[in-house]
Amino acid sequence: MRVLVTGASGMLGRATADQLAARGDEVTVMQRRPSAGAHRQVLGDVADPAAVAQAVAGQHAVVHLAAKVDVVGPWAEYERTNVEGTGHLLRAARQAGVRRFVQVSSPSVAHAGRSLTGVGAGPADPEHARGNYARSKAAAELLALSADASGFAVTAVRPHLVWGPGDTQLVGRILQRAHEGRLPLLGRGTPLVDTTYISNAADALVAALDRIGDAHGQAFVVTNGEPRPIGELIADICRAGGAPVPRLRIPPRLAWGAGALVEGAMAVCAAVPALPTITEPPLTRFLAEQLSTAHWFDQRRTREVLAWTPRVSLDEGLGRLSATG
């Protein structure tokens, strides 16, 4: 099978492309910058219809991971890449005769700030999702699933908090802030949170591609299925990565208020050219919510429909992280 993987310069996209190639698929990757990988590369932006048309030509399937994932930024940038880019890819894929399309989404598309405890994949909700990233991914997921049709099967997979060795997002940020003494725990650190080890997430995307006949038109949340108290999870990652375990605790409401102040300062800086742009805010309201609310998911339907189970446990993943640290 010939498969296009967008966003393969990221950790999950790269792992997915490698797994597809390892089992014998002919993999093309679309990304904005060249990399040292062995896969055929098409350089371009998913917001560029011409580049997208070139990338999908001759493909049987698409796994779409390319997205703007920054913590902050203007809505227009998220809309251009995450919503309009997805639209370009869907149209070009249909025109090129692609028959399978896996939209890689996020559980944040159905998170309105309240705890999510043992729930399934609720409907994507752009109106109530928190922050420009989540809102744009919610709109993109709805757009993708609405394109599901006979001869063009579309499914959405929402991996939750993907991490592993070499991760510069979740793990990298936790360890950096812990080393700098800027990683407080909110409240008692007891809300349960689930995550997904990198190879498990890649396995799930491949499984969605293979099982799309049963999965099309639907969304699935993917996790390791091992929720832990967030304070314990952060401490485990810090120990595995050789960073000090955070001791400072902040009340959640205070953190939320501080996040609001930071966002206000960011808005002022963005509006005044003479002021510096804040690209890595120490705290936002969304981050405060994520660190103080539970988010873990019922995996029974995901595992049944995708015929998938995680191969790497949370503790084994932490051991691998420690071994590479």
CA–CA separation, 135 and 155 (whole Å): 19
In the chain, count of helices (H) and strands (E)?
A: 13, 15
Measured distance CA(287)–CA(189) in Å, rounded: 14
Q: Which two tokens stand for residue 32?
A: 């904005």
Place of tokens 């919610």: 138
Within 8 A by CB and 6+ apart from 151, the residues are 99
Let me know if 133 is a catalytic residue.
Answer: yes
In angstroms, the CA 226 to CA 187 distance is 22
Pull the structure tokens for residue 61. 């399937």
Q: Could you please report the per-residue DSSP string of 181-243?
A: T--PEETTS-SEE--EEHHHHHHHHHHHHHTHHHHTT-EEEE--S--EEHHHHHHHHHHHTT-
Phi–psi pair at 28, nearest 5 degrees: -115, 135
> Are residues 101 and 141 in contact, defined by beta-carbon separation less than 8 angstroms?
no
Please state, in angstroms and rounded to a whole number, the distance separating the CA atoms of residues 322 and 325: 5
Catalytic residue among 47, 51, 88, 133: 133
Give catalytic residues, as residue numbers: 133
